[in-house]
Structure 1
Amino acid sequence: MPLSYRSLFYFESATAILLEIKRLDLPGEQDPNKLYHWLMFDKATGTLHPQDFVSMQAGAEVQEREFRQGRLRFTEQSATYVAHATGQALELAAAQPAQLPAALAQAIEAYLATLQPGSPR
């Protein structure tokens, strides 16, 4: 079965993975809120936490994403995610894995299965 998404950005630490995926199962869809999803994966629990996108800024070297849950600032090599609830910073390294970890891939497929076709979540 072909994947219903592809990974666009991928950042990893010892405890978490933060990635952006683009849905491929919505041909012709133009709404970015339906196509793109930022997801935080907790390695210890295997839990996937969707990030509710608010805004973005893209500079020549540094990009930022604001979510209801936190703020992400990243370059091609690394990222820092600061959770709004705790103020804790999580340092992550940029990566381009040939294949996603099995537990993450399963969590993403389960998450996508909960979405109605064409709905943001």
Structure 2
Amino acid sequence: MSKSNTPVAKTTQLIGAGRDKKWTHGVVNPPVQRASTILFDTVAEKNEAAINRMNKELFYGRRGTQTHFAFQDAMVELEGGYGCALYPCGTAAISNAILSFVETGDHVLMVDTCYEPTRDFCDTMLKRLA
């Protein structure tokens, strides 16, 4: 849906998704930012960014850059979701999905032929959390 609640074609969504000016600063496509360390002018600025890091504020590159935030916004719009979590690898995504639903005392049935790092995670980390 568009902001006027009129249905928008998927092709139209694909063209504009993730292009919020707060991420692109007026550039047509979001620029690719590669960063791990984010510099702050003062400790107070760094502390404020740490408090707001879950609100798409730059804090540490692995927690997101403007490129990540634009991609998250695009995925939310295209999928009609509420939020989007990005992970650096498949193992992190799968492990988080499992941990989101499994509680202490639960049993997980895992086939031997699944993605090997997932099986290792279940055999080691989940076993320790039991």
TM-score bracket, normalised by the shorter chain, equals under 0.3
Higher strand share: 1
Question: Which of structures 1 and 2 has the bigger CA Rg?
Answer: 2
| TM-score, length basis structure 2 | 0.19
| TM-score, length basis structure 1 | 0.20
Higher helix share: 2
